[in-house]
Amino acid sequence: MEKGEFELIDWIKGQFMVPDGVLGIGDDCAVLPQRDGLETLVTTDMLVEGVHFLLEDVDPYSLGWKSAAVNLSDIAGMGGKPVGTFLSCALPKTLDDGFLKGFFEGYKALSDRFDCPLLGGDTTSSLNKLCINVTVLGECVAGRSRRRSAAEPGDLICVTGPLGDSAAGLRLVLESAGYPENTLPCGILRERHYRPVPRIEEGMKLAATPGVNAMMDISDGIGSDLRHILEESGTGARIDVRSLPLSAELRTVCARRGWDPVELALNGGEDYELLFTCRPGTEVPVQHTVIGEILATPGLHWEGTDRDFIGFHHF
């Protein structure tokens, strides 16, 4: 490691409060005391320049925010509470200190919002592209984490918020590179793409609710993500596309540009809302929309449309 890297790590270390009894950045490992009746959750995701993001299209603060957010969203998808994160970065020499500072400010802002400190990591150089890996540890009352495999025939299928905003925001960025349209709806959709808010509180409330069965976060688009629940649970589903929650901003921008909001809602990705199933009659403690029903026989049936939707591909 070079001197500059130690300085960077010291700076990062100074940015994060670490709870009593926890050993964070600065040794071979972080150490977390364990407590009774809890499960540890772990998730990891890699973000690669040119694949998941383009440096010319994203500001460093948003990239830092999103790197943490998409990983915390996986903890939300299990119903857990994030405990700490571990961040690895391969940094091209062309990135300046201003970029790194912005990145970590965004990363920290999202982390602070959910009281989830950075507890460790690794920084190294990269010959050309920026590569970011985040691992999150979370915890959950033992037995409460919600799996993809727990959907039951007759369950209602629900989502916690509007779909398609992030995909529309990305499309706005890509189609108007250099000349962003600065109307309020466009700004809101771009914000949904760049600074998603993981549904941590919602996930924890849902995990504490009897009758909530399968759960996951929506990262690839409902058309793709729901299939995971169906495969793991050995069930099918019908989705009424007319019931999909669409934001006013999405409707406005789609009407103006001739885009199909339903396609963006189903086939787009990166909404980071929660997708869950629950027994009819469950008192669901968070805002949500019912979009369909789990069926005993395999197969995914779209109602209110004559098309099929297969989800978002990073590739």
**35 near a copy of itself (CB under 8 A):** yes
Question: What's the closest the beta carbon of residue 9 comes to a copy of itself, in angstroms?
Answer: 12
Closest CA to 79 of 240, 257, 253, 199: 199
Order of all β-strands in the sheet with 156-159: 212-217, 274-278, 156-159, 289-295, 236-240, 299-303
Sole binder of a copy of itself in the list 121, 153, 187, 236 (CB under 8 A):
121
In this structure, the strands spanning 38-48 and 118-126 are unpaired
Site stretch for a copy of itself (CB under 8 A), options 86-94, 189-197, 281-289, 294-302:
86-94
Dist. CA 59–CA 46, nearest whole Å: 18
Dist. CA 161–CA 111, nearest whole Å: 21
In the window 153-182, what residues touch a copy of itself (CB under 8 A)?
A: none
**94 near a copy of itself (CB under 8 A):** no
Sole binder of a copy of itself in the list 113, 147, 195, 238 (CB under 8 A):
147
Sole binder of a copy of itself in the list 62, 67, 145, 267 (CB under 8 A):
145
In the window 232-291, what residues touch a copy of itself (CB under 8 A)?
A: 232
Closest CA to 120 of 99, 101, 131, 135: 135
Contact in structure between 130 and 165 (CB atoms under 8 Å): no
**95 near a copy of itself (CB under 8 A):** no
**48 near a copy of itself (CB under 8 A):** yes
**56 near a copy of itself (CB under 8 A):** no
Dist. CA 138–CA 92, nearest whole Å: 30
Contact in structure between 267 and 310 (CB atoms under 8 Å): yes
Give the residues lining the site for a copy of itself (CB under 8 A).
1-2, 5, 23, 26-36, 38-46, 48-52, 74-75, 77-78, 80, 86, 88-90, 119-122, 124-129, 131, 133, 135, 137-138, 140, 142, 145, 147-149, 216-217, 220, 232, 313-315
